[in-house]
Copies of this chain bind each other. A is one copy, B any other.
């Protein structure tokens, strides 16, 4: 396998809220995503989900609070917890989660992205 340069991979797409797989480790995937604006409230019933901010800043709204994440910060959203990511300006994020996780979790809709798209 080849090494993966995050900035190179980020330069290969521009759409928002559509995670692209860059690597697999066992049955887990590393995905890059660019986000801007509001996502939908959702949860992932079967798994925790990791956000690592590569560039910019984003927020994750929970039922009782809002977490702000800047470059170089990470957060683990626990399994089953309702959350709504959003970003005023474009933010570039590395996601880590099991293969097969759908971006909108239990809330299928317009923002549901194709799964398992590699760049």
Contacts and interface: CB of A to CB of B under 8 A. Distances in A.
Given A25-B96, A96-B25, A96-B96, A3 B50 contact: no
A25 B48 contact: yes
Contacts of A24: 48, 76
Contacts of A7: 72
Given A1-B78, A3-B67, A67-B3, A26 B98 contact: yes
A101 B24 CA distance: 18
A72 B7 CA distance: 7
Copies in the complex: 2
A23 B74 CA distance: 9
Interface of A: 1, 3-7, 22-26, 28, 30, 47-50, 54, 67-69, 72-76, 78-79, 96-98
B74 A50 contact: no
Contacts of A5: 72-73
**Most B CB atoms within 10 A — which of A5, A67, A78?**
A5
A6 B76 contact: no
B50 A6 contact: no
Given A3-B74, A26-B98, A28-B96, 8 more contacts: A1-B76, A3-B75, A4-B74, A4-B75, A6-B72, A6-B74, A25-B49, A30-B50
